[in-house]
Amino acid sequence: MIDILKMWTIGVGDLCFGWLLWMPRGVAIALIAVLTAALSHAIRTLWEQRGWAARCQRDLIQLRRLIRQADAAGDRNALARHRDNRARVLSARGWHESRILLTTLVPLLTMVIWAEERLSRLPILPHQTVTFRVTTPLSEVGRLTHLVPTERLAVHAGYVRRIEAMTAGEVHVGVADWGVSVESSEPIEVLVRSGAKTLSHPLTASPSQSTSVSDHGGGYTTSVVGKPYSPWNLPWLGGGWLTLYLPYTAFAYVLIWFFFRRSGGRRTSE
């Protein structure tokens, strides 16, 4: 169920934001951050366009003043009444904020899940080395497997690999990796032979392609994965795309908030 939701989310993200994949990664991340900040501000503005939040804040300020006065005067009835009113206002404000959060959460999660899938790795481009991986059942560990020489496919450090064991959580499988690069953007078929099995993996070099996975059944999968994205080509800078996305989003939100607040102040003064 989770995988289906993830695939649906990525599909929606491709329709809405796929055009960003044709841009440099840094530019795409900056634009996603601006879109995130703009969407968050727009949703909050739509919810608060009647000034409800401002009136609520004024009521809380007034109630705090009344509570201090009642406490100083020793009027317990008034103190209890004002505190009860404050609790009701706080509850209403909390419900209002939760509706804003829920309304914002769905599109923002779509953006983040899509970006994690599409922007965390560099695209598969011609003449760029990527990792081609074969995953096999654990029973294949120790056996030899090899790529079939293919036109327009360069294989680095040899065609033959020995399948090695790999543990990912509770999953135990066999894997073999190659460094490969394609010489053009034309589609090709990467062939790998493992025992009596021949696995075929379609591969196209494209700015919109950063991963490519094929499930062949029986515990066999093939995948091509681009290099992890490192901001400013600094591998030691952890976090990948999030290293840029989070500060960009915060900065963009502050700018948008300041711009609209200043514009609103000008209209009010006029």
% of the chain beyond a pLDDT of 90:
29
CB contact set of 260 (below 8 Å; sequence gap of 6+): 41, 45
CA distance 97 to 106: 15
Residue 41 confidence class, pLDDT cut points 50, 70, 90:
confident
Domain ranges of the chain: 2-120+240-269, 130-225
Ranking 66-75, 78-87, 164-173, 248-257 by mean pLDDT, the lowest is: 164-173
Distance of CA 194 to the CA centre of its chain: 35
- Long-range contacts, stretch 245-248, CB < 8 angstroms, 24+ apart: 245/29, 245/32, 245/33, 245/36, 245/115, 248/29, 248/30, 248/33, 248/34
Top pLDDT among 42 and 159 is at: 159
pLDDT at 192 over 90: yes
* pLDDT tens, residue by residue, 70-79: 888 888 888 8
Mean pLDDT of 23-29: 89
Q: Give the residue with greater pLDDT, 152 vs 211.
A: 152
Arithmetic mean of pLDDT, 44-72: 82
Average pLDDT over residues 148-160: 92
Number of residues written out for the chain: 270
Give the pLDDT confidence score for residue 42 in this predicted structure: 87
pTM of the model: 0.69
pLDDT tens-digit map of 97-138: 788 888 888 888 889 898 888 888 888 888 888 999 999 999
Residue 46: what pLDDT? Answer: 79
